[in-house]
Amino acid sequence: MKNNKSKNRMYRDIQFEKIAKETGLSYSYKDEFGVINLLKDFSLFRNFSPNKITNILEDKTELYESSFRVFDFEYRLLNLDHEEVFNQTVFFVNSKKLALPHFYMEPGRLFQEVGNKTTSSGIDFERFPLFSIDYWSKNKWKDNVSDALFYYFNIGNDWTIEGVNYFMIIYKKEKIIPTTDLMEFFQKGKELVDIFSKPI
């Protein structure tokens, strides 16, 4: 089993590097520039330790106004007498075009707040009732967001999004994006950045 996992991981590493060569994206297997330090305010990275990111694909706009990255994230949880390892793929943007409150959105209704207080209260958006059923969201700007965001997610996805200031991450919980779908994932992230960047 371990050999198969190692082979699959090695194949994935090779595919990431191949995608970088084909698309002109920057690629690094290890987090050589401390990207994970930029992610410490996100709950995904704050709640799990130890953790690491690998297979980083990066694209930067002119004058470095925005930096887009896709990478694999591994974290470990200790459950009684054994350790569980989880992996998922994350899109991360650092963009001067964004000016976000700290918000969090995920499929479902229940969420755990800081201080271990469980609540099912979310934000119900009257214009998009299916959205408020499928997602709960916690943010400071309520429905003062572009309708495009709701149209984007009302189709029926299982994305989790978290934003704070100039940073935003997108991922599917405990899901690795196949390498064949990485560029589509990259594009989806960029589209979402455009939605959040447009004036309301």
Those residues with Cβ within 8 angstroms of residue 136's Cβ, 6 or more apart along the chain or in another chain: 105, 106, 108, 109, 110, 111, 120, 122, 123
Q: Which is higher by pLDDT, 3 or 31? A: 31
Edge to edge, what strands does the sheet with 135-138 contain?
26-28, 51-60, 66-79, 82-95, 167-171, 160-165, 100-107, 135-138
Higher per-residue pLDDT: 148 or 119: 148
pTM for the full predicted model: 0.81
pLDDT digits (tens, 9 = 90+) for 15-74: 999 999 999 999 999 999 899 999 988 988 876 666 889 999 999 987 668 999 999 999
DSSP letters of 128-155? -HHHHHHEEEE-SSTT-S-HHHHHHHHT
Mind listing the pLDDT tens digit for each residue in 154-170? 555 678 888 888 999 99
